[in-house]
Amino acid sequence: MRLLSVYLFFIYLLFIPIQADAFSDLGIEVSGQGSVEVVADQFSLTLTITERGRVPSKLQALVDKKSNAVVNSAKSMAINDSNITSARVNLRIVTEKPSIKVQGVEYHKAKQGSIYVDGQSIYQATNDHAKQRPLFELSRQITVHFNKVSDYDRFLTDIIKINVSHISPLSMSVKERDEYYQQALLLAISHAKEKAQHMAKQAGATIDKLKFLKEVSSNHYRPMYSEARVSGASQRTHVSLIGSQTITARVLVVFSLKE
């Protein structure tokens, strides 16, 4: 029993310096974050023109007329054709609900037999409904890209007069997002280094060399939009505010410590 205790004690003495060396090799590991606030400089608006009817060719003529008015409005603002998309067209059959509501049923027993609902023969109503053409819905989506939010305000004023069916929320983005993200990465590395210096100083040590660096973000940004306001110069003029967007980068770093 005594020999076993001595043997375990020697193993413990051999393990302690190895473990201490392992921790000294790890150094200090910290994370850093950097953010850059930018203003959106690219805008896109998607609107939908929808018409319903029983003759698809007439529907197409109506939709094309409104579509041409929207496109001409965009072109009048010197927007290039490459910034206008109007090829998305959808045609579907609308399922109609029965228009006959049963309030009273009258049954007459005759040679052929007949059932009347509100004074109309069920047989006649069924045949009339079967002869009707199906109801179609034709829609077209148009997307317009802008470089200035003021152009969006002008365009929106024009298309409201055209009476389009649906206007999607304005989409905002940053053109040089990769460049701003690289700036955020540098700020994240500086932030990580400052954290490592403070932590090492608190522990009575000093950081030495950078041993490991890893990017842990994916070039994303968080929109921070301001609410729209009305210009003080004219209460009828609506001016949209775009606010700012925050592009954030995160890194993971390991520094060695000076002995």
* 110 three-state secondary structure: coil
pLDDT at 70: 96
Nearest CA to 248 among 42, 44, 31, 29?
31
Query: Percent of the chain beyond pLDDT 70?
Result: 68
pLDDT at 15: 44
Q: Which residues contact 46 (CB under 8 A, 6 or more apart)?
A: 141, 142, 143, 167, 168, 171
Whether 204 contacts 242, CB under 8 Å: no
Q: Please name each of the domains of the chain with its CATH number.
A: 25-40+175-257 (3.30.110.170), 42-95+130-173 (3.30.70.2970)
pLDDT in tens, 99-135: 555 555 555 555 555 555 555 555 555 555 556 789 9
Whether 117 contacts 104, CB under 8 Å: yes
pLDDT at 21: 46
Residue 70 phi/psi, 5-degree rounding, is -65, -45
State the DSSP string of 161-186: HHT-SEEPPPEEE-TTHHHHHHHHHH
What is the rounded distance in angstroms from the CA atom of residue 36 to the CA atom of residue 192? 16
The segments of the chain whose pLDDT lies below 70 read 1-25, 98-131, 219-239, 259
Nearest CA to 48 among 135, 150, 136, 137?
137
What is the rounded distance in angstroms from the CA atom of residue 247 to the CA atom of residue 145? 22
